Structure formats: structure tokens, C-alpha cells
Amino acid sequence: MLLVKNVHIIEPTSKYHGKKVDLLIKKGKIDRIKARIQSDKYNVYDAKGACMSIGWMDIGVQVGDPGLEHREDLESVAKAAMAGGFTAIACYPNTNPSIHSKSEVLYIKNNTSDSLVRFYPIGAASRNCKGEEMTEIYDMHESGAVAFSDGTKSIQNSGLMMRTLQYVKAFGGLVMNHPHDKQVGNSGQMHEGLTSVNLGMKGIPSLAEELMTQRDIYLAEYTESKLHVLNISTARATNLIKQAKSKGIQVTTSVPAINLALDDSLVESFQARYKVLPPLREKSDIKALKRGLKNGTIDCITSNHIPWDGDAKNLEYSRAEFGSIGLETVFAICNTHLKSVLSLEALIEKLSRNPREILGIPVPKIEEGAIANLTLFDPLEEWTFTKEAIYSKSKNTPFIGTTFTGKVLGLINQKQSWFRS
Amino acid sequence: MSSSELSTKHILGIKYLTKEDINLIFETADNFKEVINRPIKKVPSLRDVTVANLFFENSTRTRISFELAEKRLSADVVNFSASSSSVKKGETLLDTVNNILSMKVDMVVMRHPAPGAHAFLARHIDANIINAGDGTHEHPTQALLDAFSIREQLGDLSGKKIAIFGDILHSRVAMSNIFCLQKLGAKVRVCGPPTLIPKHIPQLGVEVSYDVKDTLEWCDVANILRIQLERQDIKYIPTLREYSKYYGIDKKLLDSLDSEVIIMHPGPINRGVEISSDVADSKQSIILQQVENGVAVRMAVLFLLAAKRST
């Protein structure tokens, strides 16, 4: 039994919202919530007025197991998720082999069943995420895959995308696609703009994202199926989704946290830690993305967590791989950079309720008798992110040395708890 | 007035140089040009300085030009050439260079296919680095020798009109030229097929034209770039024949102009593609002067960096 004292509840659907209370956790459930609970017979954690919400969820995580364990294994990604406040993650199918059949879906689920963090595998839409042959989607769905996508790979073939959207309708499934037209993107290394011209670097035009966003919206409209436009980064893609939503098309979208904080001018240093996909765009895009978060166009924020070992990143920029780790900094980035954009309640909604609703997963509650699935955080604490403190196996992030406001303190889920020491 | 010392430790790109740096290099190159026309062409300025020429990409003239410049300054020279394929086999750039530096090299002249490879290196090693071309980013000494050659013909570059023709998208020479010419006050226009001109280049303050004749009429100097088929991973132009027909420059075209335009080319020339032989070999052409100036300018750069090193 665990008694968490002095927490400030942030959960608009709970009658305790905005109140300062003590919570008693018993057998993985919230046993009691009261202004004050007697403490002598329980393990006590004094939160000293920190905030507590339902547990957060990230729908944009690459795990390295199976096949890429040197970059991230299931245990290390769980630790990184915990440090980031996430009690649930949906993981990309881009492993080796890909999560492209029932076996891999069950592999992930069975190997993480005793973890504090719930893993929700995203099934590959195509074999080996190659964008060619359709996978056994129904079977993966029955085994627990929560959505279908080629993850970090965009589905280039419009016919395959259309048929995938059609096929998942049999069980009301969701297709996620990161919009990136490869032919237009043409082996680009960074956002196409003034900076890319200056650096002689092949650019990825915003158009590469916008064309595919529009294509996918048309396909979702045609098939009357559910689409999630995964990890957008441009102003116009935001607008296209806004229009699609207003037309009643079943589309949702997400943005990686890093794309809300950093812009393409940073690449001028030729440092590969700024090499991510979608690429860092312009300041005007960041502004539009923030507007999209505020007006509800953008439903949730991902870490777009792509772990790489040092050798894949400590290279000439154009030879380095795309991606950065992100699980441990999502909240810190958002809380620091979205202060004037989202209220704390609205931010937490995009990190907890919305991702689950997109995937059709039950949303935890804060009430007596509910399963304890909770995240504890302090939105005011200032702290500096250091390399030594990273839980992920990989250290590829541009935020080492950055000072943030807002820190995750701990979480409770699956009859377990973890508190930052 | 120019200062007597460069503002930087490396020559990574024209972008990172000041106008004063460029003028200092030119004045120093004036002296070295006089030196290399003497019967005894060698001076002892770089004695006891070891220079490594690292070429991760093919090069003939730039490599020879640097080597000559180094030898005429009495430097000790080591050459290393690796095709990009042997680098792909495993050893990273950092490993290769660290190995060579363990042998106590003072300066590195490097050509590399990755944009920013020199900036990457500069973060890891102590030697002075001269960029002899990094992918499609910069080729600063080429731009310096081009501007130096124009200065020789026209004097002060301020207000002069320079047109750069051809594959701007894949050209480090174009980028370095634009930065250099603009710093010296010249007006720059680029001209070529739309697929070979970066969409955002007007933001650099450069004019864009797709009309070769109109641009030739506008400019004082035409710098004609090579069509870099090896850098084009996909088709940007249908055929060389069509390119030559609509974007190539021949004598007939030049003769139809009202004024005489100076013709430049960084080499190697695809004769009959971007430029016809009668243009390349005409009296308007300063292509061979460019090559000669290349040695003087590179001597100046090496000399000034070595001077910076000893202070």
C-alpha cells in the first residue's frame, strides 16, 4: 500500500480537479482520495504540492527490440518512458524483423507484461515496412496491435494506402502514416529553405509533407476510414488537417515535441544532432504548429523517439542518420515552450487523454476504485538535462545541457510505482 | 585598408570570411603571383610546416594546384586520396584523419563529398583546415581565385555584374562565388535550367534568369560551370544535347552581343556541352589565367594561415 500525500490533481473530468489531496493506492487501485489520510501504517511519498494527472501516453516511439537492441531494448525504453512520465507507449513497427505479424506483436506484449509501462505495438501496414505487400492486419489487430503504419517509413504507394484504410474498416481500425513524399523529398538532408541553400545541402521541401498529407486526407475521405497523420511539421499541413476536420473527415494528427522548439537555422552548425525527420522547419512553421495545438487541429504531441548509437550520429551531417531520442524531454520541452499557447490542463490532455482516444484505448480516471494509472510532475521546477541522467541507451538528442521548466517526478501503473530519486 | 591577419583559423567557406580577409588574401596573392613568375619560384615561408592533402573525392587540378602552392612555400607535403567507396568500406572520416594527424600534421587541405565535413572535422582536430570542396556546399579557394582573376581584369568588383551559368543546384563553386562576389560588392545573377536552380536562391539576393542571351547581355563576366552529371542522382535535364542547345554558350552567341563579355570556367570543361571550344580558346576567355592565379591564391591562403598559427 502506498500513500501519496499532498498532490494537486490535474484532471478536468475528476471531481478532485484542482484540489490538493492525499491518495491511497492499494493493489494497483486508487483506494481512497481525501484531503488528509492518516499515514502511520503505509509507505508514504510526500509530493509536496506537485501535480498529478492520469498517466501519459506517447504514440511515437521506436523500440530496438527485436533486432536493434544495441540502440534501445524494451527495458531501456521503458525506463526512458518512465523518466518522461509515460505510463503507456505505442511503438513503431520499425524493428528487425518489423512488427509485421502476430508473432512480433505478441513478442512485444509478452516481453513487457510485467513492466510499469504498457506497450501498445503498432502493426506494420506492409511487410518489412517496405510499402509493397499488405500484412496480416486483422490477425495483428486480434493479437493486440492498436494501429497500422509503416512508422518512420511513409507509405509511398497510394493504392496500398487506400487498401489499408479500407481493410481496417472491418474492425474500426486506425491507419497512421507519416507524410513524406520520397520523390519530392529526393534524398534531402534538412528543411528546404534559405538555410539549406546557404549550406549547399539538399532540402526536403515542405511540399513533400503537404502533398502526402493532402493525398492521405483524400484517401481517408474516399474510404471513410480513420487516419492519423503522424508527426507533422509544416504550417500548411496543419491547415490542410484543420480543413479536413471541419469537413468531418476522420482525421487526427500529432507533432513531435522537438519540432515545436527548434528551427532549421540550427543546422548551420552542421551538427547531426539536429538531423531529424520530419526536419526542423522554419520559425513560421513552429508558430503555425502552436496555433494548431491551441485551436485543436493538432491532437497530441509525440516524442518521435528514434534512438541511434553514437557512431550513427558522430559523422559528417549528410552521412548521419535521421532522428533523436525524445521520451525524456517531451513534457519539459512542451511545458517550457508552450506556456503562452496551452494551459497546463490542455497540455496534459494532449499527452494523456487524446492519444488514447485516437487509438481507442480506455482512458484512466482519477476516482476511488479506479485503476491507478498516474503521472506525478512539477510544472515549475527548473532543471538541466544532462547526458549522465539519460535513461535511454542512446544519447542522440540536441537538448543535452538545456535548462527546462517542468519535471516529471514519478508514476504509478500496473501495481508498480517509480519516483525520481 | 586591409588588416594583416586573417580573422579565422580555418578556411571552411567564404561565408565565414570577412571582406577584409578576402582583400588581405588578394594582396598577399599579388605578391606570390610575382614570386611564381620569377626564375626561382620557391620561398621558405612554410618550412617545417607539414601539410596533408586529403582528397576523398576525385580531383586533378585543385589537388595539383594546392600541392604546387605548398611546395613553392617549402612545406612538407603528404598526399592521401581515397575514393568515397573505400571510406564506405568502414573507416570513418574521423578515424582516417586522426590517424594522419597522429603523424603530426599542421595543416589539412581536404576535399570531401559531404557538405560541412570540414566543420565536423574542425570540431575534432587541432590543425588548420582548408576546404578544397565539400560536396555541394563550398569551394572557397576556387571562389577566391575567380574573384582575384576578375579583379585583375576589371579592378574593383564593386557594382560589377557577374553571371554564373549552369548547374547551380549541385555546385559548390556557385555558392562560394555568390558569397565572395557579394562580399566584394558585385551584382550576381544565376542562369540555367529551372530544375538546376535552387528554389530559395533569390533569398540570398541573387537574380535568377532562364535566358542565356539576356543574361550575357546583362553581365560583365560570365562564369560558366560544368554540368555535374556525377552529382545528379536523378534526371534534372533530359539530354546533354538539349542542354547544349538551349544553355550552352558558343561563339556565334557571343558575337551577337553588343559588348565583350569576359569568359570564365572553373574546369574541367565539357567542350561542346556548356561551352564550345572556340569560346573556351577565344581571347575573351581567361580560363588559363584562372589556373595560374589558383596557385598564387592558394599560396596566399596557406601563408596567412601559417602566419596565424605562429602568432
Q: Where are the domains of chain A?
A: 2-52+367-381+401-419, 55-359
Q: Which of B38, B88, B89, B200 is catalytic?
A: B89
**Is B6 contained in some domain?**
no
Residues of chain B positioned with their CB less than 8 A from the CB of A205: 199
Q: How far is CA B277 from CA A101, A356, B250, in A?
A: 63, 69, 8
Is B128 found in the same domain as B251?
no
Is B258 found in the same domain as B178?
yes
**Is B80 contained in some domain?**
yes
**Average pLDDT for residues B116-136, to the nearest whole number?**
93
pLDDT tens string B33-88: 999 999 999 999 999 999 999 999 888 899 999 999 999 999 999 998 876 545 55
pLDDT tens string B260-305: 999 999 988 999 999 999 999 999 999 999 999 999 999 999 999 9
pLDDT tens string B139-160: 999 999 999 999 999 999 999 9
In this prediction, residue A39 carries a pLDDT of: 80
By Cβ distance, the residue of A193, A200, A317 closest to B136 is: A200
Question: What grid cell was written down for B89?
Answer: 568500406
Q: What is the DSSP string of A310-360?
A: HHHHSS-GGGSPS-B--TTTHHHHHHHH-TTTS-HHHHHHHHTHHHHHHHT
Write the ipTM: 0.89
pLDDT tens string A120-167: 999 999 999 999 999 999 999 999 999 999 999 999 999 999 999 999
Is B83 found in the same domain as B103?
yes
Question: What grid cell was written down for B50?
Answer: 607539414
Does A284 lie at the interface with B, CB-CB under 8 angstroms? no
Average of per-residue pLDDT values in chain B: 92
**Is B9 contained in some domain?**
no
Whether residue A194 and residue B203 make contact (CB cut-off 8 A), yes or no, is yes
Q: Which of B72, B137, B139, B172 is catalytic?
A: B139
Q: What is the spatial distance between Cα B174 and Cα B161, in angstroms, rounded to a whole number?
A: 15
**Is B159 contained in some domain?**
yes
The tally of domains found in chain B comes to 2
Average of per-residue pLDDT values in chain A: 97
Q: Which of B137, B142, B177, B208 to mutate to test the interface with A (most CBs of A within 10 A)?
A: B137
Answer whether residue B164 shows pLDDT above 80: yes
CATH code reported for the domain at A2-52+367-381+401-419:
2.30.40.10
The superfamily in CATH containing domain A55-359 is Metal-dependent hydrolases (3.20.20.140)
Q: What is the spatial distance between Cα B68 and Cα B62, in angstroms, rounded to a whole number?
A: 10
Is B237 found in the same domain as B114?
no
- B311 belongs to the catalytic site: no
Residue A110 neighbours by CB distance under 10 Å: 11
Q: What is the spatial distance between Cα A349 and Cα A301, in angstroms, rounded to a whole number?
A: 10
Is B162 found in the same domain as B109?
no
Per residue in A118-137, is it b (16+ CB within 10 Å) or e — as a string? bbbbbbbbbbbbebeeebeb
Is B295 found in the same domain as B283?
no
Does A378 lie at the interface with B, CB-CB under 8 angstroms? no
- The residue among B206, B309, B217, B203 whose CA lies nearest residue B254 is B217
Q: Which domain holds residue B47?
A: 14-137+291-309
Answer whether residue B5 shows pLDDT above 90: yes
Whether residue B175 and residue A205 make contact (CB cut-off 8 A), yes or no, is no
- The residue among B190, B194, B132, B195 whose CA lies nearest residue B165 is B190
Is B250 found in the same domain as B170?
yes
Q: What is the spatial distance between Cα A53 and Cα B234, in angstroms, rounded to a whole number?
A: 52
Residues of chain A positioned with their CB less than 8 A from the CB of B119: 269-270
Q: Which of B54, B179, B199, B228 to mutate to test the interface with A (most CBs of A within 10 A)?
A: B199
In this prediction, residue B233 carries a pLDDT of: 67
**Is B284 contained in some domain?**
yes
Which band of pLDDT confidence, cut at 50, 70 and 90, is reported for residue B104? Answer: confident
Which band of pLDDT confidence, cut at 50, 70 and 90, is reported for residue B125? Answer: confident
Which band of pLDDT confidence, cut at 50, 70 and 90, is reported for residue B1? Answer: very low
By Cβ distance, the residue of B94, B200, B233 closest to A192 is: B200
Is B90 found in the same domain as B40?
yes
**Is B249 contained in some domain?**
yes
Whether residue A197 and residue B117 make contact (CB cut-off 8 A), yes or no, is no
Is B208 found in the same domain as B120?
no
Does A384 lie at the interface with B, CB-CB under 8 angstroms? no
Is B84 found in the same domain as B34?
yes
**Is B8 contained in some domain?**
no
Q: What is the spatial distance between Cα A364 and Cα A371, in angstroms, rounded to a whole number?
A: 7
- B60 belongs to the catalytic site: no
The domain that contains B70 carries what CATH number? 3.40.50.1370
In this prediction, residue B89 carries a pLDDT of: 53
| Under-50 pLDDT residues of chain A | none
- B251 belongs to the catalytic site: no
Q: Which of B10, B33, B63, B111 is catalytic?
A: B111
The reply to whether A55-359 shares the fold of A2-52+367-381+401-419 is: no
Identity of the amino acid at A384:
T
Whether residue A200 and residue B120 make contact (CB cut-off 8 A), yes or no, is no
